[in-house]
């Protein structure tokens, strides 16, 4: 598979994964582009012992973290949503409520410790299967399943806890 086919086939997967982790569309686009550039340079190092998606997501994750280190930024999670007073209209308020709920889920997700956060993101947003996630971490498929399940339980418990406060 040449780089153009690789790009067309896997761009969306890599982009969605990085966007889910960074929650920044322009950053995700930049990191995704850089990921494919690095993949082209490192193509001879790909030995085929894992799925191409796993390999690309690994490059993307490392590229994102390198980029954040250079910028001295952390992954988002503390941003405050805009208030309804800053924009008029009921449609905005509905969107804000949905956004607020999504923000709560993302805050809980980003508050999780590793590997729960990353396994959940890879499965939910990166659309990788458990075998691929296990390979990415150098673990078994069953480890990925259990870790994903535990992440879901932790997220659910935290959301329920916040609802009762």
pTM comes to: 0.52
Q: Looking at per-residue confidence, does 47 or 157 come out higher?
A: 157
Give span(s): CATH 1.10.1740.10, the chain: 3-71
Task: Give kind and range of the element (H or E) at residue 16.
Answer: helix 3-22
Segment 115-148, tens digit of pLDDT: 888 888 888 777 778 888 888 888 899 999 999 9
Could you tell me which CATH number the domain at 3-71 has?
1.10.1740.10
Split at pLDDT 50, 70, 90, the class of 88 is: very low
Q: What is the pLDDT of residue 10?
A: 87
Give span(s): CATH 1.10.10.10, the chain: 89-163
CATH architecture observed for domain 89-163: Orthogonal Bundle (1.10)
Who's near 117: CB < 8 A, 6+ residues apart?
A: 109, 110, 151
Cα separation, 134 vs 143, whole angstroms: 7
Which stretch of 38-42, 101-105, 120-124, 131-135 has the lowest confidence by average pLDDT? Answer: 101-105
Distances (CA, A) of 2 to 39, 59, 133, 135: 11, 17, 24, 23
Q: What is the pLDDT of residue 84?
A: 38
């Amino acid at each position: 598979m040449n780089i153009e086919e690789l790009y067309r086939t896997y761009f969306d997967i890599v982009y969605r994964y990085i966007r889910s982790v960074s929650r920044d569309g322009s950053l995700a686009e930049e990191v995704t582009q850089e990921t494919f550039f690095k993949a082209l340079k490192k193509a001879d190092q790909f030995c085929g012992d894992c799925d191409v998606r796993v390999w690309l997501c690994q490059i993307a994750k490392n590229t994102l973290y390198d980029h954040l280190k250079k910028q001295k930024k952390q992954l988002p999670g503390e941003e405050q949503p805009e208030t309804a007073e800053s924009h008029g209209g009921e449609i905005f308020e509905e969107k804000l409520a949905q956004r607020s709920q999504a923000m709560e889920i993302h805050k809980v997700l980003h508050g999780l410790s590793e590997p729960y956060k990353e396994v959940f993101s890879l499965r939910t947003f990166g659309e990788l299967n458990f075998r691929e996630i296990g390979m990415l971490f150098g673990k078994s498929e069953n480890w990925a399943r259990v870790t994903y399940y535990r992440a879901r339980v932790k997220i659910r418990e935290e959301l329920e806890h916040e609802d009762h406060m």
